[in-house]
């Protein structure tokens, strides 16, 4: 029985694969860019119009990068029997939504999704083992 636990945020995903007593630890990097758009500009004339920063193109780029990250995770999972998702923000929930929309077979195998702050590698492993009952 292949069980996988994932602790994820937008930067990386730590995966622990449990398969018949064997453990494999894998870290998958997201390769996402983190933007900090700077403000617009002022016109030369006094009380002139301001140029506004377009957040939509940054959000659209982030959406595409998240989709690529999730596809990379799905490819790494392969054929899985049980899946647990953990993470500090809404990334795990977005991943679950992506699984339910585009990867139904894997999405149905998610047993638990929970909020978890930043954890060390050993803490993540212990939490996943505890949840699966190892």
Quote the tokens at residue 73.
């995770």
State the average pLDDT for the chain.
Answer: 87
Q: At residue 125, does pLDDT exceed 80? A: yes
pLDDT at res. 32 = 85
Q: Is the separation of the CB atoms in 39 and 51 below 8 Å? A: no
Closest-CA residue to 10 (of 67, 52, 56): 67
What's the predicted TM-score (pTM) here? 0.81
How far, rounded to the nearest angstrom, does the alpha carbon of residue 97 sit from its chain's CA centroid? 11
Query: pLDDT (tens digit, 9 = 90+) per residue, 58-101?
Result: 888 889 999 999 999 999 998 899 999 999 889 999 999 999 99
pLDDT at res. 46 = 77
Query: pLDDT (tens digit, 9 = 90+) per residue, 102-120?
Result: 998 998 999 999 998 888 9
Residue-wise DSSP of 13-57:
EEEEEEETTEEEEEEEE-------PPP--B-SSTT-PBPPP-HHH
- Which domains does the chain carry? 2-29+55-132 (3.30.420.60)
């Amino acid at each position: 029985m292949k069980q996988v636990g994932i602790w994820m945020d937008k930067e990386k995903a730590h995966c622990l694969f449990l398969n018949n007593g064997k453990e494999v630890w894998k870290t998958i990097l997201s390769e996402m860019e983190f933007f900090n758009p700077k403000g617009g500009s002022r016109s030369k004339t006094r009380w002139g119009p301001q140029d506004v920063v377009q957040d939509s193109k940054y959000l659209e780029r982030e959406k595409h990068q998240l989709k690529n990250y999730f596809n990379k995770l799905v490819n790494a999972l392969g054929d899985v029997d049980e899946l647990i998702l953990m993470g500090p923000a809404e990334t795990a929930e977005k991943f679950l939504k992506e699984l339910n929309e585009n990867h139904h077979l894997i999405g149905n195998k998610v047993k638990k999704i929970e909020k978890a702050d930043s954890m060390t590698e050993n803490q993540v492993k212990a939490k996943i083992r505890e949840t699966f009952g190892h």
